[in-house]
Amino acid sequence: MLQLGSANTLESLFLQAGVEIGGTDPWDIQVHDERFYDKVLAQGSLGMGEAYMAGWWDCEELDLCMAKIMTARLHRKALNSVSMTLASIEARIRNKQTKADAFSAVARHYETGNDLYKAMLCKNMIYTCAYWKDAWDLDSAQEAKLKLVCDKAKLEPGMRVLDIGCGWGGLARFAAENYGVEVVGLTVSQNQAEWAREKCRGLPVKIKLQDYRDEYGIYDRVVSLGMLEHVGYKNYGEYMRMAHRCLEEEGLFVLQTIGNNRSVHQNNPWLDKYIFPNSVLPSAAQLTEASEGLFILEDWHNFGSDYDRTLMAWHANFLRNWPRLKARYDETFFRMWRLYLLGCAASFRVRNVQLWQIVLAKNPREQYFPVR
């Protein structure tokens, strides 16, 4: 039976964010099951996400609702829970991103199905933030991002490039075709490795199904897009040392990552449970500490607002292609995936998280001129 106190408490809390339960604005929440109130109060953001997946509440414009909640910082004021506190304690004690865990954690997300990602992403299957400065659609924005990365790395024909976390091989193929370089890509996803090998057939590209910690080759350049989020704060130092040992003496390391405004030790509990197991976003302080004594910081470029637009484009593709996807994925998955895409878009929109491209130099002999 509904506890009126729970309903009144939650309604008052959401009103602080300008979100009304039962209201008429597109960002207002419509409750379909009264269990929603007790679940959200007891389990915070995890409970709210699970209640949405179960169909206990809806919202016409979910991204607007999430943006308002985040702007009001309700997720810090009251939408936390005992389970989140315990998760934080566990993250501080245990290294959750060991080599033994890497393959299984990635399988939970990236092995979902290539059909899903093909329906959602651009033609090159790039699953990181696009660069919209002079772009007109998702394909052109992603190609602009790939060019930006290659230009920041100052690629030249004949260079050897290591791509840590190569995904479906889009960057490797682009760099090999347009810059005349040889690429070795690392991934721990079987689906990604098979796709990348097929798409890069005939090019000087080698895809390894391998943890980054096991790489010892020497390269002119190292690039890594959207990989650091899976490394874990206990491993940032090892990640930087690995990139350092794999670079020739005057090499450059171009790193793209989602960044947190503050140092944390665990992800949002709903995202950790359902979307990106064992992931955590690095802060600027954590990255500079991990790279200190190894690299010279040449450039730090933030274009986090572009990720909002990228995620909204992915969401539009997902909705448009859902009729042919739903034979394989159920309604719970549909609601889960929408909450993931729109919630993340809202987080970038209100600047809770950022998107950084960082250029690090091992032993530079020339001045570096940033590229935009």
What is the set of active-site residues?
Answer: 344
Query: From CA 350, how far away is CA 67, in angstroms rounded?
Result: 6
Beta-carbon contacts of residue 32 (< 8 Å; ≥ 6 apart): 55, 56, 57, 58
CA atoms within 13 A on the CB side of 71: 14
Query: From CA 228, how far away is CA 97, in angstroms rounded?
Result: 11
Query: From CA 191, how far away is CA 168, in angstroms rounded?
Result: 8
Distances (CA, A) of 359 to 37, 237, 282, 302, 313: 46, 17, 16, 12, 27
Distances (CA, A) of 4 to 8, 256, 330: 6, 47, 33
Distances (CA, A) of 257 to 69, 204, 229, 281, 328: 24, 26, 7, 8, 31
Distances (CA, A) of 265 to 97, 123, 210, 290, 334: 12, 35, 25, 15, 29
Q: How many CB atoms lie within 10 A of CB 93?
A: 9
If you count them, how many residues does the chain have?
372
Query: From CA 167, how far away is CA 195, in angstroms rounded?
Result: 9
Query: From CA 362, how far away is CA 250, in angstroms rounded?
Result: 6
Distances (CA, A) of 234 to 21, 278, 370: 41, 12, 30
